[in-house]
Chains A and B, each alone.
Chain A
Amino acid sequence: MPPPLLALHGVCKRFGVVEVLRNIELEIHAGQVLALLGDNGAGKSTLVKVISGVAPADKGSIEWEGRTVHIRRPQEARDLGIATVYQDLALCGSLDVVGNLFLGREIRRFGFLDEVEMERRSMQLLERLTRSVPDLRGPVVSLSSGQRQTVAIARSLLGDPRVLLLDEPTAALGFEQTTEVLDLVDRLRDHGLGILLISHNMGDVKALADRAAVLRLGRNNGFFDVSTTSQEQIISCITGATDNAPRRPAHPEAEW
Chain B
Amino acid sequence: MGDMPDETRADPAATTESRQRRARRAVTGAVAGWIAVRRHRLSAGELGHLPVTLVLAAVWIIFQCINSTFLSPRNLSNLSVDIVGTGLIAVGIVFVLLLGELDLSVGSISGLAAAVFAVLSVNNDVPEWLALIAAVLTGTVAGTLQGYSVARTRVPAFVVTLAGLLTWNGLMLAILGTSGTVNLDENGLVAHLTSYYFTDAGVAYVVAALATALVFLASFLNRRRRRAVGMAHRPLHTIGVRTGVVGMIAFASAYLLNQFQGLPLALLIFLAVVAGLDIMLRRTPCGRRVYALGSSVEAARRASLSVTGVQTAVLAVSGTLAATGGLFLASRITSVSQNSGSGVLLLNAIAAAVIGGTSLFGGRGTTWSAVLGILVIQSIASGMALTDTPTAVQLVITGGVLFAAVVIDSLSRHTQQAHGRA
Contact = CB atoms under 8 A, between A and B. Distances in A.
A54 B295 CA distance: 19
A99 B284 CA distance: 11
A141 B416 contact: yes
B94 to A, nearest CB: 14
Contacts of B44: 138, 142
B180 interface: no
B302 A74 contact: yes
B231 A90 contact: no
A104 B420 contact: no
A161 interface: no
A130 B229 CA distance: 22
A195 B421 CA distance: 29
B228 to A, nearest CB: 9
A86 B421 CA distance: 19
Given A138-B44, A142-B44, A142-B420, A95 B4 contact: no
A221 to B, nearest CB: 28
Interface stretch (B206-214, B286-294, B311-319): B286-294
A135 B46 CA distance: 14
A137 B4 contact: yes
Interface residues of B, number: 40
Contact of B304 (A74, A108, A142): A74
A75 interface: yes
B416 A90 contact: no
B22 interface: no
Contact of A120 (B229, B298, B416, B419): B229
Contacts of B279: 112
Nearest to B230: A120
Given A103-B292, A116-B226, A138-B44, A90 B284 contact: no
A135 B40 CA distance: 12
B134 interface: no
A108 B187 CA distance: 45
A94 B285 contact: no
B13 interface: no
Nearest to B365: A94
Contacts of B419: 141-142
Contacts of B420: 141-145, 148
A184 interface: no
Contacts of A74: 301-304
Interface string B346-371: 00000000000001001110000000
A92 B363 contact: yes
A127 interface: no
Contacts of A78: 304
Contacts, number: 102
B199 interface: no
A55 B169 CA distance: 41
Contacts of A111: 284
A99 B288 contact: yes
B125 interface: no
B408 interface: no
A94 B291 CA distance: 8
Contact of B5 (A52, A99, A106, A119): A119
Interface in A140-156: 141-145, 148
A92 B422 contact: no
Given A113-B284, A116-B226, A92 B304 contact: no
Contacts of A145: 420-421
Nearest to A105: B303
A128 interface: no
Given A113-B285, A141-B417, A95 B304 contact: no
B283 A113 contact: yes
Given A93-B363, A137-B5, A141-B420, A103 B299 contact: yes
Contacts of A106: 285, 288
Nearest to A84: B302
B296 A120 contact: no
B416 A139 contact: yes
Interface in A67-104: 73-75, 78, 84, 86, 88, 90-95, 99, 103-104
A181 B362 CA distance: 31
Interface string B232-256: 0000000000000000000000000
B305 interface: yes
B217 to A, nearest CB: 14
Given A75-B304, A104-B303, A94 B231 contact: no
A144 B422 contact: yes
A35 to B, nearest CB: 23
A136 B5 contact: yes
Residue from the set A94, A120, A139, A141 with the largest chain B CB neighbour count within 10 Å: A94
Contact of A90 (B226, B283, B298): B298
A123 interface: yes
A19 interface: no
B364 A94 contact: yes
Central interface residue in A52, A54, A88, A139, by most chain B CB within 10 Å: A139
A115 interface: yes
B300 interface: yes
B6 interface: yes
A54 B301 contact: yes
Contacts of B421: 144-145
Contacts of A135: 6
Contacts of A90: 296, 298-299, 302-303
Query: Which of the listed residues A115, A142, A144 has the most CB atoms from chain B within 10 Å of its own CB?
Result: A142
B285 A116 contact: no
27 contacts: A54-B301, A74-B304, A75-B304, A78-B304, A84-B302, A88-B298, A90-B296, A90-B299, A92-B292, A92-B295, A92-B296, A92-B299, A92-B300, A94-B295, A94-B364, A99-B288, A103-B288, A103-B292, A104-B303, A104-B304, A113-B288, A116-B222, A116-B226, A116-B229, A119-B5, A141-B417, A142-B420
Closest 8 CB pairs of A and B: A94-B363, A104-B303, A92-B295, A75-B304, A90-B299, A74-B304, A94-B295, A142-B419
Interface of B: 3-6, 44-46, 222, 225-226, 229, 231, 279, 283-285, 288, 291-292, 294-296, 298-305, 359, 362-364, 416-417, 419-422
